[in-house]
Amino acid sequence: KAGVTQTPRYLIKTRGQQVTLSCSPISGHRSVSWYQQTPGQGLQFLFEYFSETQRNKGNFPGRFSGRQFSNSRSEMNVSTLELGDSALYLCASSLASIRDMERYNEQFFGPGTRLTVL
Amino acid sequence: SQKIEQNSEALNIQEGKTATLTCNYTNYSPAYLQWYRQDPGRGPVFLLLIRENEKEKRKERLKVTFDTTLKQSLFHITASQPADSATYLCALERYRGSTLGRLYFGRGTQLTVWP
């Protein structure tokens, strides 16, 4: 089974620009979560989508947004980029099934998109 | 909000010894706790999950304990090998009604196993 894929892997942007990152979850996974990882803050939760609906949201400004499509693929958008947005952006998918407590929220991470804002 | 602390940023041990990593949390009792491994330049990889009503979980050389009274989880790697060198993250989630809540991650402990 193919893993989580993220595109692009690397991105360089300048302040004020916007960016869209893409994530394709594992087939059959309906939940997609996005995280920002920086050396100073660690792994910070951005939001989670389940069946095209945002189910959870972290403490990030409105410049960070996302969506999920009917095939569970997800995109994340950051508008008006700031220098502090430079980070590794990770996408994770999961079955998110309550029936099987052992596996229901195990997160499968993609390789990430390394965003550099100049 | 949930606060998670992992005992130290870095842990260095000799090959063959047992590595013990600590994860402490405050504010809420999690529904369950997970441990992940992350290698440089890669996304985290799931290792183990332990539920709030479980005391201990094992998988090969890995063992996780969960003490909800102390609000602490311990992650052990026995007979450690240089290939175990990586950053280990703990993550927890609490129930939010009937839906799944978000995952809170610790900042990780970088483990180095030297020969």
Label each residue of chain A as H, E or C. CCCCEEECCEEEECCCCCEEEEEECCCCCCEEEEEEEECCCEEEEEEEEECCEEEEECCCCCCEEEEECCCCCEEEEECCCCHHHCEEEEEEEECCCCCCCCCCCCCEECCCEEEEEC
**Chain-chain contact of A111 with B104 (C-beta, under 8 angstroms):** no
A with B: how many residue pairs have Cβ under 8 Å apart?
Answer: 63
**Closest CB from A4, A58, A109 relative to B102:** A58
Residue A79 pLDDT greater than 60, yes or no: yes
The Cα A106–Cα B102 span in angstroms is 12
Contact yes or no for A13/A21 (Cβ under 8 A): no
The reply to whether A83 touches chain B by the CB within 8 Å rule is: no
Average pLDDT of chain A to the nearest whole number: 91
Look-up of token digits 């979560």? A33
Percentage, residues of chain A above pLDDT 70: 92
Q: What is the pLDDT of residues B64-73, one digit of tens each?
A: 999 988 999 9
Question: Rg (Cα) of chain A, in Å, rounded?
Answer: 14
Q: What is the pLDDT of residues A7-41, one digit of tens each?
A: 999 999 999 999 999 999 999 998 999 999 998 88
Record the tokens describing residue B6, joined without a space: 């992992």
Q: What is the pLDDT of residue B7?
A: 75
Contact yes or no for B102/A48 (Cβ under 8 A): yes
Cα-based distances in Å from A48 to A92, A116, B27, B102: 9, 23, 22, 8
Q: What is the pLDDT of residues B49-96, one digit of tens each?
A: 898 888 999 999 999 999 988 999 999 999 999 999 999 999 988 766
- Closest CA of chain A from B106, distance in Å: 7
Question: Rg (Cα) of chain B, in Å, rounded?
Answer: 14
**Chain-chain contact of B105 with A35 (C-beta, under 8 angstroms):** yes
**Chain-chain contact of B102 with A45 (C-beta, under 8 angstroms):** yes
What residues of chain A, 31 to 60, have a C-beta less than 8 Å from chain B? 31, 33, 35, 41-45, 48, 55-56, 58-59
The Cα B75–Cα A51 span in angstroms is 34
**Closest CB from B42, B98, B107 relative to A111:** B42
Q: What is the pLDDT of residue B93?
A: 81
The reply to whether B49 touches chain A by the CB within 8 Å rule is: yes
Average pLDDT of chain B to the nearest whole number: 89
**Chain-chain contact of B46 with A31 (C-beta, under 8 angstroms):** no
